[in-house]
Amino acid sequence: MTPPTIRRLLPAAIVAVAASLAVAAGPASAKPIVHQTPKVPVVVDGKKVAPEQIHRFDGKPLYMRVSADGKKLIATTSLAKYKAFLKTQGVTLPRAGAKAPAKARTSTSGHWARIWTDNFLRGSSYTINSGLGVANMNAISGCSWFTCSFFENSVSSVDTYGRGVVLFDLPNFNGYFGSLYIGANMQADLQVYGFNDRTSSVYTDW
């Protein structure tokens, strides 16, 4: 017979183990991580690989950035190294799950990032002023009298002014699938960098 004390502790222990496994596995609805093939050379953890070889890292999140000249995709499997680089750019990532404003306000610094639903800076657009974010693309999607704009998993190009922008594959700035940083004063077609129609949240630094 199991002692009463152990019987009382077992349910709590089972719940604790289940919770830890859920955290390790990522979001409950998470699908397998399969990276898009970029159209530019890739550097992962300091090693050059052909664009199609990015699939060697399927199943693992990649934390990526566009090179300053826009000709390379630079990635790391280390979130710590990614955050260290971003700090050199003046960027501190919000904590995953942080409650940022759903819609941007006027930025006193005058810097911004603009997302577009089509390639080559076309389609519907939305401007995120510096220091702010969109925690869920559904918050800025919808219809007016004349048109509908849907940004969830529909961002295809980005331009930035004065500050960079971080794109996340999940809402609430969750980097489980990885993310992509685009520096200041750049225009980026996301299919070139393997991040087309993937964005679920966006953050700009102050």
Which tens digit of pLDDT belongs to each residue from 46-84? 999 999 999 999 999 999 999 999 999 999 999 999 999
Could you tell me the CA-to-CA distances from 87 to 121, 139, 146 in Å, in that order? 28, 28, 42
Beta bridge partners of 41: none
Alpha-carbon dihedral sign for residues 103, 101, 199, 139: negative
Judged against a pLDDT cut of 70, whether residue 101 lies above it is answered with: no
Query: Rounded CA gap, 182 and 36, in Å?
Result: 17
Instruction: Give pTM, 2 decimals.
Output: 0.80
Task: Note the pLDDT of residue 177.
Answer: 86
Judged against a pLDDT cut of 80, whether residue 125 lies above it is answered with: yes
* Residue reference for tokens 């501190």: 92
Task: Note the pLDDT of residue 113.
Answer: 95
Decide yes or no: CATH 2.60.20.10 for domain 31-204: yes
Task: Note the pLDDT of residue 97.
Answer: 54
**pLDDT grade, residue 157 (50/70/90)?**
very high
Q: Where are the alpha helices (DSSP H) in 134-198?
A: none
